[in-house]
Amino acid sequence: MLLAALVAVSAIGGIFWPAVYSKETVNFAAQGIAQDWVNLVIATPLLVISGFLAYKKSQRAYLVWLGILIYAIYSFIVYAFTVHFGIMFPVYLAILGLSFYLFLLSLFSYDLDSLKKDFHESWSRKAVASTLLVTSVLFYLLWGKDIFSNLFAGTVPKSIVETGLPTNPIYVLDTAFYLPGLIITGIMLLRQKKFGYVFAAPFLVSSMLLAAMIIAIYVTVAKMGFAVEWSLPIGFSVILLVYGFFLVSYLKNLRA
């Protein structure tokens, strides 16, 4: 409940208090507000609902809860390191630290072996694993093209220029942490290892929230008059739908 309240406070502050993003470029401020709406309307209610049901011993809710925590860790690393120092900085730190340690405590306090035993084997295991592997490879190719084409040309990616940041935090988090996590989870799920069963659904959940956030950012930035390459939000919309389908299929094969 504390985490949900803090996420709601950070989102409401970003949306309705101009001072929060007053030092950012117009583009980056618009991105922040778009993500705040996703945090307020989607992430906060999911934190409350999944947290309560997980407390009531629902395994499905437990996996969704872990996924939202992964999303919160990812998102508030970006907030904490990229938004200029201001009144919301302590809130970002509190959310980041609380999300990280709640994730660890939730993970290590759960009987991981029982989760694997309670999973009814079906096509969804291999399908989910393959989806995680394919999308991670595609994003490595996408971000790699953007990074290396600009490095070889001696230019800076458009996404960095428009936000005024020294680099793109998404490149850092995805290539160094998130995408390797998807690959490892996909391989472990194919090999029927217990950690594969545990992390598959959380990564689907966090990826869906990140996709929703990116779609919201593109729509908001486009409304502000910035040029947008619509192939990316369309692609993320497809990811949102595909991951949602596989998440439902995966959770159906797990004892409630």
Per-residue pLDDT tens digits for 233-251? 888 899 899 999 999 988 8
pLDDT > 90? residue 2: yes
DSSP 39: I
pLDDT given at position 94: 97
Span 108-153, pLDDT tens digits: 887 777 777 777 777 778 889 999 999 999 999 989 998 999 989 9
Mean pLDDT for 73-86 is: 94
- Residue 111 gets the label, from left (phi > 0), alpha (psi -120 to 50) or beta, of beta
Average pLDDT value over all residues in the chain: 90
Mean pLDDT for 151-158 is: 88
- Total H helices, total E strands in the chain: 12, 0
Mean pLDDT for 43-64 is: 92
pLDDT given at position 160: 85
Span 32-52, pLDDT tens digits: 999 999 999 999 999 999 999
DSSP 43: I
Mean pLDDT for 17-41 is: 92
Domain ranges of the chain: 2-252
pLDDT given at position 231: 77
Residue 256's pLDDT band, with cuts at 50, 70 and 90, is: low
What b/e string do you get for 110-129 counting C-beta neighbours within 10 Å, with b at 16 or more? beeeebbeebeeeebbeebb
pLDDT given at position 59: 87
pLDDT given at position 195: 87
Span 178-208, pLDDT tens digits: 999 999 999 999 998 888 888 999 999 999 9
Residue partners of 45: CB distance under 8 A and separation at least 6: none
DSSP 18: G
* Radius of gyration, alpha carbons of the chain: 18
Torsion of CA 149, 152, 158, 164, to 10 degrees: 140
